[in-house]
Homo-oligomer: A and B are copies of this chain.
Amino acid sequence: MTLDYPTFLVNFKLYAGTAGEEGLDLAETIASVTERTGASLAVAPQTPDLYRIASETDLPVVAQSVDAVNAGRGTGKVALPTVAAAGADGVLVNHPESPQTLSEIESIVESGKDQGVESIVCVDSVETGRAVLAFDPDCLLFEKPADIGTGRSLPRTAPERVEAFVSMVEETNPRTRVLLGGGISSSADVEAALKLGADAAGAASAFVDATDREAWLSEVAETLVSEASADSRR
């Protein structure tokens, strides 16, 4: 399975209520919104739950992080081929909560190509985005770490930075997708992100903390669907 853009990624992080049985319930909520709306929604479960969620739902699944390791020793590390075998379709790389070295980023993006796992590399500026494009990643997740978990999102507070980022990517490596994260808290944020040229958006706390998660996600999903159809008419 590959991610089908425009898409919206729900990252469970380590939030309370997102592991085990509860995590599966959440994933099933996301899957039911997908079924009802036709929107492309993906989930990044906690690592020990990857297989469970990949095997028990139809959602595209993204690993929250992998280590740049080879088969062999490495007790406790998480290898890309293992998350692929567990059902991961993509992997977050260099997330600000699990930052990685330049060589690790290069090696994981490459491994992803070999294993058919989409690489979604997190960056926080036009410059770091341009740097990572040297490795031809499948997707760049652009977010300001300071926005994470807040209600401030780049598409609303600094739309010109999003446009600059999108243009840079289009000029440098047009096949790479752009996913907007960091403070995305409503369907209006998602709509703004897509209108500014992003291919995707994502959130963590906004979904997990929503009073009615299904309602919150349904609005996002409808935005995604209507932007996708607007896009195909352009």
A: which residues have CB within 8 A of B?
Answer: 11, 13-16, 19-23, 44, 46-52, 55, 63-65, 69-79, 81-83, 85-86, 88, 92, 94-106, 123-125, 127-128, 130-132, 134-135, 148-149, 204
Query: Inside 8 A of A49's CB, which chain B residues have their CB?
Result: 51, 82, 85-86
The answer on a CB contact under 8 Å between B14 and A79 is yes
A220 to B44, CA, bound (A): 40
Q: What is the minimal beta-carbon distance from A91 to any residue of chain B, in angstroms?
A: 10
A218 to B139, CA, bound (A): 48
The answer on a CB contact under 8 Å between B102 and A131 is yes
The answer on a CB contact under 8 Å between A83 and B48 is yes
The answer on a CB contact under 8 Å between B106 and A128 is yes
Query: Inside 8 A of A47's CB, which chain B residues have their CB?
Result: 47-48, 76, 78, 82
Q: Determine the residue in chain B with the shortest Cβ distance to A84.
A: B20
Given A14-B73, A51-B48, answer yes or no on A85-B19 (Cβ-Cβ < 8 Å): yes
Q: Determine the residue in chain B with the shortest Cβ distance to A54.
A: B48
The answer on a CB contact under 8 Å between B98 and A77 is yes
